[in-house]
Each structure stands twice: as C-alpha cells, then as structure tokens.
Structure 1
Amino acid sequence: MELTSTKQRRAVALAIGAASVLLALFVNEPYILLVAVAVICICIGWEAGLAAVAAAGLLSCVMLFSLELGATGGAVRLALFVVAALALWFVIKIFRTMSFYDRVYHDTGPGVADIPGLGWSASADGRLRLVSPAALEYVGVTADEMRRIMDGDDYHWTQFVHPDDVEASMARWRHSLQTGEPVIDEHRMRRFDGTYRWFRDTGIASRNEDGKITGWYGHTADIDDQKKAESALRERERELRLLVDTVPTMIWLMTPAGLPYYFNKRFVDWAGIDSAKAQPRGTRQFASHVELFHPDDRVAVKAVFEKSFARGEPLQHKGRLCRKDGEYRWIDSRFEPLRDEDGTILRWYGVNFDIDDEVRAQESLRLADERLARALRAASLSELSVSIAHELNQPLQAVVANTGAFQRWLNADPPNFSHASRVAQKIIRNADAAAQVITRIRALFSKTEAEPHPIDLNAVIREVCDLLGDRLASSSVKLDLQLDPGLPATVADLVQMEQVVLNIVRNGIEAMDDVNTTVRSLRIVSRRQNDGTVEVEVRDSGRGLSDPERIFEAFYTTKPDGMGMGLAICHSIVEAHRGRLWGENVETGGASITFSLPIRAGDSTKTPTGATVRA
C-alpha cells in the first residue's frame, strides 16, 4: 500500500505506536515502548516526545518492578531504558532540527536559493516540503514556524494568500495535481508587514523514468508593479476610448493605403455603421465608405482622397455625407498621416465635422446680406433722388427745347432741313442720356444682378461724382480727381462697384460736415499697382477714424442716425470680387479708404453672378 498523504502516514505511525504499547504490556518488555516514543517524536513533535519519554519511563518502571520490586537488576534495566529513551528523543530532535535547517538554508538543492522570486518545492501529492530563504523572509516566518506549517495541513500555506484569491488558487493547484499540467496562478500574497502584493506562481512537475510525478518545483515572482502598470494602462486606454467616443466629432482610422478599419462611437451612431459586422482590420474597401457621400460628390471625393493617399499629403475636403436617417449633410473632412522615424506612414487619422447647420446659416446670411444690400441701395437712392431727378430733368428739358427748335425749323418758309437735322441729332443724344439714367436706376433697384463684364473704374468714379454733384456743392466740398488715364479694365459687377464707390464717397463727404468749409476737400485717386491690381483711394480732410479696425464691422457706426452697414457691405462686395478694402488715418489730417481689385481680362474666370455680399 502506498501512503500518499501526511494524514495517512501519521495514522499508520500512531497505529504502530499503539500496537507497540499493547505488545510491551502483553510480553512485559518495556524496551518495545521505545517504538511508541519514536512515533510520538516523529509524528507529534520532539517537544511532545519528551513527555512521551517520561510516560514510557513510568510505564517501564511499573513493568520492571511489578515482579522484581527492589531488585537491583530491575533498577539497572530501568536506568538503561530511560537513557535509551532520552537518547532516542535527543537524536530525533537533532535530526529533525538540522535536517529542516539544512533543507531550508544550506542544502536545499542546486540553485534553489538563486531561483528568481520565491522558490518552493512540493511532494507529489502537493504537500509543501521546501521553500527558499527569500520566501521565508518575505512572509516573515522562521524555519521552525515554516516546519510546523509543513507538518500541518497539506494546504496550510494558503494562510499567506489573500482570502479573495484562495478558492481560485486552490482550484488551479488541484487541477494541476490531477492532470500533471504546469500550474500558473496569479494571486495576492501577504508580506511580513501585512501588505498584500500580486505574485505569479509558476510550477512544473518532475517525473521519474516511468513518467511518474515525483514532486513539484516552482517559483513565485512579484508582479505587483506590473499589475499596477497594467491597471493604469487599462485605465488610460479606457479614458482614451471614452475621449475618442465622446469628443464632439467623428473620428476614423485608415491603413497606410487609405482603407478604413476603425470608426469611433460618434461616427457609428451618426452614420449608422454596424460595428458588429465590421470587417477585419484593413480589409474594408474604401469604396464602401465613398458610398456614404452624395452621388454628385463621389467621383470627386474618390479622386481627391486617392491622390492624397498616394502622395502622403494631409487633406481637407468638404462634401455631403449620408446620415443614418438618409439625410445628406455637409461634412468637413480632415486627414493627417502618422509616420515613424523613417517617415513611413503607419496609419491615417481622419476627423469629420458636421458643418451642415453652419453652411445653411451662411447661405441664409448670404441671402439676407443681398436683401440688405438692395435695401441699402434703395435707401441711398432715396437720399439721392433729388440729384437723380435733376440729372434726368436736364436731358428732358433739352429734349423739349430742341423739339421746339426742330418744329420751328421745319415750319420755316422755306423749311430749313439742315438745321432741323442737327437739332434732331441733339434730341437723340438727350433722349439717350435720359435712358441711361433710367437704366442705372432700374439696375440699382432690380433683384437680379448683372453679368460681370470688364468695367472702367474711372468711368464709375465719374458717374458717382456726377450723381453726387449737388451734394458736393451743397456741402462746399472741393473735388480733386486724380484718375490714371491708363487704368486697365477689370471684370466686375458694375452696379456693385457703383455702390462701393458711392458709399465710400458719401462717407467722405459726411466725415467733413463738422470741419471748416474752407478746408473741405475730397481727393479720389485711381492707380495701377505692380502686383496686378488696380486701386481706388478716397481721401477726405475730416477728423479721421476713431477706430480704423472696426469700421468694416456690421452695425458699427459713429453717426447718430447711421445703420453701420454701408462699409460692411462694401467690404463684402470687394472680398467677393477677390479684392481688398482697408482704411487708415492720414498724418496731415483726415482719413483714407482704399480698395483694390485684381486685374482680370474679359476671358478670365468670371466673378460668380450675384457675388456673395456679407456684412
């Protein structure tokens, strides 16, 4: 019979000890009691063995002197028995103490003390039989205390394991004992100061030539710092994922070739992408993402993206993307490559911003600006109605006068056809002048914008000055025109350019209302610049600008009855024509408002009809 556990061995030893006591009593031979003393010393402990020696001595005394009371031989035999029992006790004590000491501290086997971490070994049945000095030092027990633990319950070592981890550790250890598989267990162990730290326990079975397990050997490594680092890493990963999923934008990742493989939660929720059916990393075809774009944008989007991915250049693109409810919304997409130290692209990061509301708001603002611009033109014309009526009255009066002269020449006797013909030519010219005035007024009030075409800015300036002639005279403003006769034509909207010049000139006149009439002068200069632009400068002799940086802001005005929209609309008109408008104070006094336009021939790219006007 093979004894496979400590309990079985002790039970058999105690049975032998009891049998030896019975046999000694039966044959009346005290020396057989030495077997019981040895059993008690080995199984219970050499401390209890000392009491066993005394008890055996008393029992042997009874046995020896029961028949030979007072006999010298009996006393000698008793003395010999006691000496033999003490010697047996002493030998077992020395053997057990030195054997354990040698196993733990001196002769634990080759390299046991050098095992990384806490080394240990166990018998084939899993009973702990050897630990390294480092293990004793860590748990804070002495060699004797560890011996008692080894001699106790087979799994008494679990007292050093955290209570929450004991059950799982025992289950893994029993599984390895039953199957012979290596044991790999992670649990918390109590240090000598009561602190629990994480350890990884690794053990393998040693086998004999027949493959039978003869013991277990392993070590326990401190992984507490690793566990904390892993926990911190998982926490940072969780926070990063929460950040990526909750940041108010749609984020997606692509392979170096531009194949999408990850979409954050906001993108998934927005576009309705089924993450459960997501294709493996890097296998999702880019065409499947392009299908989300508006059919009118797909070809252009695919071409732009493929070009950017091929060159490895960052990309920004605006297009209409289909939301999960089927609505196409304007999206601003931006892509940046992540490169390694050698410049090789590792992946692409893309973000999508839903700008549909912004685009619609801008469109509404553009329409409102256009309506406001027309209203401002109407307001300007109402103020200039007297001047326009005066300008229209002159050619009409001339028509009436020349018609009378024409009639007189025809009624003469004989009729003077030569003079009548010359008067008829004058009537035609006067009628054409009146028609031009009417045409200009209708264009200013019309909701439809004229097609941009090459215009002469000098002619625009002269026409505006003619319209404001009465205002200039009534305000005692001296007009100084310095117009470049070689100024090239540029493609622009004639009505809008008239509106810009009209507003700037009128502001210049109004800026001089509170200065002495003797110094009121308005200089208008047109010139060509070397950078391919033409400039028009309107300079007054007023008190200057209080805040040149804000004069083009909507609703900013220094006039008591002003709306603050004139220069703001002018600024938008000039920018819509790809030009620039600015203002500054003049050192000699007054202010200067200047705008520049690029020189564009009639066959160049035209300014879009109804150029965007924004305040």
Structure 2
Amino acid sequence: MELTSTKQRRVVALAIGAASVVLALFVDEPYVLLVAVAVICICIGWEAGLVAVAMAALLSSVTLFSGESGAAGGAVRLAVFVVAALALWLVIKIFRTRSFYDRVYQGAGPGIADIPGLGWSAYPDGRFRFFNPAVLEYVGVTADEMRRMMDADDYSWAQFIHPDDVEASVAKWRHSMSTGEPLNDEQRVRGADGTYRWFRDIGVASRDDRGRIIGWYGQIEDIDDQRKAEVALRQSERELRLLVDTVPTMIWLLTPAGLPYYFNKRFVDWAGVDPTENEPSGNPQFATHVELFHPDDRAAMKAAFQKSFARGEPLQHKGRLCRRDGEYRWIDSRFEPLRDEDGTIVRWYGVNLDIDDEIRAQEALRLADERLSRALRAASLSELSVSIAHELNQPLQAVVANAGAFQRWLSADPPNFEHASRVAQKIIRNADAAAQVISRIRALFAKTSGEPNPIDLNAVITEVCDLLADKLLSGKVKLDLQLDPRLPAIAADHVQMEQVVLNLVRNGIEAMQDANTSPRDLRIASRRRGDDVVEVEVRDQGRGLSDPERIFEAFYTTKQDGLGMGLAICRSIIESHGGRLWADNIATGGASITFGLPIGSAKAVRSSTAKPGKRLV
C-alpha cells in the first residue's frame, strides 16, 4: 500500500506501536517495547520522548518482575532496556533535530540555500523537505513554521497558490510524481503582503546510477512582469489586427521573394481568397494569385512585379482584379519593402485600392467632354450663322431701301439725277459694309486677324445707334449719350468694335423690355481712364444681373430664346485687342457693362493681337 500523506503514515505508525506493546506483553519480552518508544517519539514529539521511555520502563518492570527470572535478573534486564530506550530516543532526536532543514539553515557551508532565486527540494515520494530562504522570505514564514506545515500535510504549500490555480498545480505535480517527467508549471503565488504574482515552477528529478528517483529539485522564477508584458503585447497585436482588418484598404504581406502569405479581412472578403489554403508544396505561390488579374493585364503585371522584387524597388501598378462575384475592377496596387538595419528586405507590404469607380467616372467625363466639344462647335456655328445673318441684314436692307429710292428718283418726271446720285453712293457704302462683314468672317475661319487701324469709338457708337434707331423707337427707349469729345483714337478692328457695341446696346434695350420698367433710359458713355485706357459703358434700367461673372460664359443665357454666345464673343474680341470686359449691378437698379481698351499705336496693337489669346471659335 502506498502512503501518500503524513496523516496516513502516522496512523500506520501508531498501529504498529500498539501492536508492539501487545506483543511485548504476550511474549514477555520488554525489548519489543522499543518499537513503541520509536513510534511515540516520531508521532507525539520529542518533548514526550522521556515520558515515553518512563512509561515503557514501568510496563517492562511489570513484565520483568512478574516472571520467573527473579529480582536480580529482572533488575539487570530492566537496566539494559532503559539504557537501550534512552539511546534509541537520543538517536531519533538527533536525527530529527539535525534534519535537512537544520543542516541547511544552521550549517556554515554553501548549498541549495545559497542558490539565487526561489528554490526547493522534495523527497522521492513528493513530500517537500526544503524551501530556501528566498521562498520563506517571499511567503513570510519561518523555517520552523514551514516545517510544521509540511509535517501536517503534504500539500500544505497549496495554501500559497491562487485558488484558481490550485487544482491545475496539484494535478501537474502528481503527474510528475507518477511519471517522473520534469515539472513545468505557472501559477500565481501569494506573497507576504497578500498580493499574488505569477511564477514559473520548474522541477526535475534526481536519479541514482540505476535510474531510481532519489529526490526532486526545483526553482521558482518570478514571471509576473513578463506575463503582464505578454498580455500587453497580445492586446497590442489584437488591436493591430483589428486595425489592419477594419481599415478600408486591402492589405497583404509578401515574403522577401515576393510570395504572398497574409491577407487582411478586407482583402479576403473582397477577393474571396482563402488565407488558410496551402499549395501542394506547402508554400504559397504567387502564380495562384496572378490568376485574379484580368487576362489582358497579367503579363504586364507579372513583369512589373518581378522587376520590382528583383531590384527591391517600390512598385505602383494599375490593373483589373477579379472580385469574388466575378466582376473585374480597376485596382491601384502599391508595394513597399521593409528592410532591417543591414538593408536586407525582410518582407513586402502591399495595399490594393479599388479605383474602378474613379476610372469609370474619368472615362464618363472624357466622353462627356467630347460630346460637349461637339455641341460647342455646333452651337458656335449656329451662333455664328445668326450673327452673320444679323450683320448682313442691316446693310442688305439698306441696299434694298436705297435701290427703291434710286428707282423712284429716276422714274420721276422729270428724273432727279442729283438725288439718285446720292442714293447710289449710299448703296455703294451699304454694299461695302456687307462685303466687310463677309471679309471678317472669312478671316475668322482662316485664323487670321484683321489689320488694326486707328478708329474713333465715339463714331462707332454713333453709327450703331443710327442702325438701332428703329429698335430704340419701338422699345420706347430714351438714349442718353455721354461721349467724351476729347477721346483719343485707338488701334482696333472697326467691324469687330461695331459688333461689340451693337451687342451691348441691343442687350440693354432687351433688358428693359423684359423688366417692363418706366422710364427706359439707356446711357452710353465714353471716357478716358488714366493715360493708357479708354472705357465705354452701356448702362440700362432693367432688372439687373443674377450672376455678373457667368454672363460671359459660353451658352449661359437668361433669355428664353437666347444661345448665350453674344457676350462670350464680345469678351473674346475685347481680350484679343488686349482689353477687358466686365459687368456690374447698379444700386439704383439696372446693370452696367463696360469694356476698356488700351491706347496705343497700330503697331503696338498688332504686336499685342499677334500673341495667342482666348478665342471662342
């Protein structure tokens, strides 16, 4: 029977002691009582040792003197017994008091107690016999207190272990006892201050030359700081993994050779790849993931990647990648190498950005630009046709009217040749005006500029007002001309300046007709601004401008039947002459449109207009 606890061993010892007393009385042999003396000394204590010897002497005297040997023989045997009992008690007392504890704690030589750290030793059967001073100091007990605890219970050491760790620690210790395998356990141990710290308990068996276990020796290492650091590290890893998996970017890691070995959750969910899937060789192969790219992009992508990996250079590549639903989407792939302190690449970091929506939006924008460009050209041609028809309409109408007058003067009785001659001159001037319009249009399509000549802006304004006299009269518009008589001549194209003034005056008349304002005053002013600029302002009393800047944009119009090209053409003409055209709202109501032109020689103007400028068509 294997005795696994001190209590069981004491019960067996007491039973043996009682049996020895019965045997001594039965066989009439007092020496058998020496066993009882030994049992009493071991089980009861050393202080009761003399009492045990005395009691044994009394029992033996009863046995001896009741026999037939006589008083003399009995006295001698009694004396021998008492001496033997005292000697037995003394030997056991010396052995017990000079135990392994006392020899270590009271001895002067080095031993296991001198080993740095927390150390212990145990008997072959697992009973602990020694804890070095570092252990006793940490748990806050003395050597005698520890010895009494060990004598009382083989597992009394468990009282220092955290309650949640006791069961596992006892199970591991019993396993080592039964198998002889080294002990490797981690548990929380209570210190003298009542706090628990993590310790690693490592114990190995000591064997004799026949392989029998003759003892156990172990060391307890404080790993509380290490455990806390490991917990903090695991927490950081969890947070990093959570960050990598939730960041709205597909991330993957590659070996120094360029073989992928990690995909974040975003990539796995997007592409449907299995991060746990292994190749037949047990290593991930880049060729497997090449199949995710569009067949038209694979060759270029593979060549770019291999070149980057061979040179150790960062890579940015755009290609179409297959999503888990089978749709190919444009991906911007970027790779950066991570190097150690020696410059050796230890891994590659790659990110994939889904730019398919951006690519499609750019393509849609490009197509829209093409359609808009075609629409602009068509609208420009349409507006040009309208402009040509308008410009030709005035001189042609004048030609028709003057031709009728010419015919009437010649048909009179008698014919009035003087008036007919003046009308014929007007017909010639009107035909020349129409020819100039055609010439300007031809120069526009030939991408040539007219010859700038000195012109009088006041004369241009007066001519335009004469042309629009009927429109002013029908619109009940009162014309207010404030023309500077000292206005210097400027170098410009006469026909284009007429076109600009005509557009501005016509817009002012129409603005007041739409607003139903009364009175309808249209003021046209010319003035000199400083020494180098001439300005012409057309001011109406209409509703004003909702957006003074946008009215010069092509196709922007507030008129129901307008094309939005008139003011855009005017700005183009003014800027081609080195000037500026702008618009403002008037605080008292209405709008003001003004253009300024530089004062300079024809040569200077020709030099200015030779430079590339903004043109509408």
Q: Does 1:352 align with 2:352?
A: yes
Judged with a 3 Å threshold, the aligned counterparts in structure 2 of structure 1 residues 10 and 257 are, in CA distance, closer, same or farther, namely same
Aligned residue in 1 for 2:546 = 560
Displacement after TM superposition at 1:111 (Å):
3.7
Which amino acid in the other structure matches residue 102 of structure 1?
A: D
Query: Counterparts of 1:320 and 1:397 in 2: how far apart (Å)?
Result: 65
SS of the equivalent of 2:252 reads strand
RMSD: 5.7
Aligned residue in 2 for 1:151 = 151
Aligned residue in 1 for 2:172 = 172
Alignment of 1:413-452 (within 5 A): none
Query: Counterparts of 1:83 and 1:515 in 2: how far apart (Å)?
Result: 151
Query: Counterparts of 2:50 and 2:172 in 1: how far apart (Å)?
Result: 41
Displacement after TM superposition at 1:249 (Å):
0.5
Residue 17 of structure 2 contacts residue 35 of structure 2 at CA under 8 Å; is this kept in 1?
Answer: yes
Query: Counterparts of 1:461 and 1:211 in 2: how far apart (Å)?
Result: 120
Displacement after TM superposition at 1:247 (Å):
0.8
Judged with a 3 Å threshold, the aligned counterparts in structure 2 of structure 1 residues 253 and 519 are, in CA distance, closer, same or farther, namely farther
Structure 2: gaps of 5 or more residues: 402-431, 453-459, 466-480, 494-499, 509-521, 538-543, 557-579, 581-594, 598-610, 613-617
Give aligned-pair identity as a percent. 69
Between 34-43 and 320-329, report the one with greater CA deviation: 34-43
SS of the equivalent of 1:303 reads helix
Query: Counterparts of 1:370 and 1:22 in 2: how far apart (Å)?
Result: 123
Displacement after TM superposition at 1:372 (Å):
6.3
Query: Counterparts of 2:201 and 2:351 in 1: how far apart (Å)?
Result: 46
Alignment of 1:68-467 (within 5 A): 95-107=95-107, 111-279=111-279, 283-367=283-367, 387-391=387-391, 393=393, 459=449
For 1:31-56, what per-residue CA distance to the aligned partner results, in whole angstroms no more than 9, with x for missing partners? 86564343222134335657756866
Alignment of 1:487-506 (within 5 A): none
Residue 387 of structure 1 contacts residue 470 of structure 1 at CA under 8 Å; is this kept in 2?
Answer: no
For 1:6-33, what per-residue CA distance to the aligned partner results, in whole angstroms no more than 9, with x for missing partners? 5665455323321343345557787865
Residue 399 of structure 1 contacts residue 430 of structure 1 at CA under 8 Å; is this kept in 2?
Answer: no
Residue 249 of structure 1 contacts residue 266 of structure 1 at CA under 8 Å; is this kept in 2?
Answer: yes
Between 258-267 and 363-372, report the one with greater CA deviation: 363-372
Which amino acid in the other structure matches residue 547 of structure 2?
A: D
For 1:476-500, what per-residue CA distance to the aligned partner results, in whole angstroms no more than 9, with x for missing partners? 99997899xxxxxxxxxxxxxxxxx
Query: Counterparts of 2:171 and 2:462 in 1: how far apart (Å)?
Result: 103
SS of the equivalent of 2:341 reads coil
Which amino acid in the other structure matches residue 15 of structure 1?
A: A
Residue 37 of structure 2 contacts residue 85 of structure 2 at CA under 8 Å; is this kept in 1?
Answer: yes
Residue 186 of structure 1 contacts residue 201 of structure 1 at CA under 8 Å; is this kept in 2?
Answer: yes
Displacement after TM superposition at 1:134 (Å):
1.2
For 1:101-148, what per-residue CA distance to the aligned partner results, in whole angstroms no more than 9, with x for missing partners? 424424598641243432111122222122211112222222122212
Query: Counterparts of 2:555 and 2:280 in 1: how far apart (Å)?
Result: 54
Which amino acid in the other structure matches residue 146 of structure 1?
A: M
SS of the equivalent of 1:350 reads strand
Query: Counterparts of 2:114 and 2:320 in 1: how far apart (Å)?
Result: 68
Q: Give 1 or 2 for the bigger CA radius of gyration.
A: 2
Query: Counterparts of 1:394 and 1:107 in 2: how far apart (Å)?
Result: 134
Displacement after TM superposition at 1:522 (Å):
14
Between 218-227 and 152-161, report the one with greater CA deviation: 152-161
Displacement after TM superposition at 1:266 (Å):
0.8
Residue 5 of structure 2 contacts residue 153 of structure 2 at CA under 8 Å; is this kept in 1?
Answer: no
Judged with a 3 Å threshold, the aligned counterparts in structure 2 of structure 1 residues 260 and 29 are, in CA distance, closer, same or farther, namely closer
SS of the equivalent of 1:321 reads strand
Residue 113 of structure 2 contacts residue 132 of structure 2 at CA under 8 Å; is this kept in 1?
Answer: yes
Query: Counterparts of 2:545 and 2:283 in 1: how far apart (Å)?
Result: 66
Query: Counterparts of 1:471 and 1:263 in 2: how far apart (Å)?
Result: 79
Residue 123 of structure 2 contacts residue 215 of structure 2 at CA under 8 Å; is this kept in 1?
Answer: yes
Residue 292 of structure 1 contacts residue 322 of structure 1 at CA under 8 Å; is this kept in 2?
Answer: yes
Query: Counterparts of 2:98 and 2:210 in 1: how far apart (Å)?
Result: 33
Query: Counterparts of 1:471 and 1:25 in 2: how far apart (Å)?
Result: 162
Aligned residue in 1 for 2:18 = 18
For 1:323-374, what per-residue CA distance to the aligned partner results, in whole angstroms no more than 9, with x for missing partners? 0101111212222111222322222111111122233334445555666677
Query: Counterparts of 1:540 and 1:300 in 2: how far apart (Å)?
Result: 62
Which amino acid in the other structure matches residue 115 of structure 1?
A: I
Displacement after TM superposition at 1:252 (Å):
0.8
Residue 254 of structure 1 contacts residue 282 of structure 1 at CA under 8 Å; is this kept in 2?
Answer: no
For 1:60-102, what per-residue CA distance to the aligned partner results, in whole angstroms no more than 9, with x for missing partners? 79889999xxx9x999999999999889767755653442542
Between 145-154 and 109-118, report the one with greater CA deviation: 109-118
Displacement after TM superposition at 1:224 (Å):
1.5
Aligned residue in 2 for 1:518 = 527
Judged with a 3 Å threshold, the aligned counterparts in structure 2 of structure 1 residues 79 and 391 are, in CA distance, closer, same or farther, namely farther
Residue 251 of structure 1 contacts residue 263 of structure 1 at CA under 8 Å; is this kept in 2?
Answer: yes
Query: Counterparts of 1:243 and 1:260 in 2: how far apart (Å)?
Result: 20
Query: Counterparts of 1:542 and 1:210 in 2: how far apart (Å)?
Result: 123
Judged with a 3 Å threshold, the aligned counterparts in structure 2 of structure 1 residues 198 and 48 are, in CA distance, closer, same or farther, namely farther
Query: Counterparts of 2:172 and 2:15 in 1: how far apart (Å)?
Result: 34
Which amino acid in the other structure matches residue 518 of structure 1?
A: R
Query: Counterparts of 1:563 and 1:50 in 2: how far apart (Å)?
Result: 123
Judged with a 3 Å threshold, the aligned counterparts in structure 2 of structure 1 residues 542 and 349 are, in CA distance, closer, same or farther, namely farther
Judged with a 3 Å threshold, the aligned counterparts in structure 2 of structure 1 residues 229 and 86 are, in CA distance, closer, same or farther, namely same
Residue 100 of structure 1 contacts residue 143 of structure 1 at CA under 8 Å; is this kept in 2?
Answer: no
Residue 376 of structure 1 contacts residue 566 of structure 1 at CA under 8 Å; is this kept in 2?
Answer: no
Residue 30 of structure 1 contacts residue 63 of structure 1 at CA under 8 Å; is this kept in 2?
Answer: yes
Judged with a 3 Å threshold, the aligned counterparts in structure 2 of structure 1 residues 385 and 108 are, in CA distance, closer, same or farther, namely farther
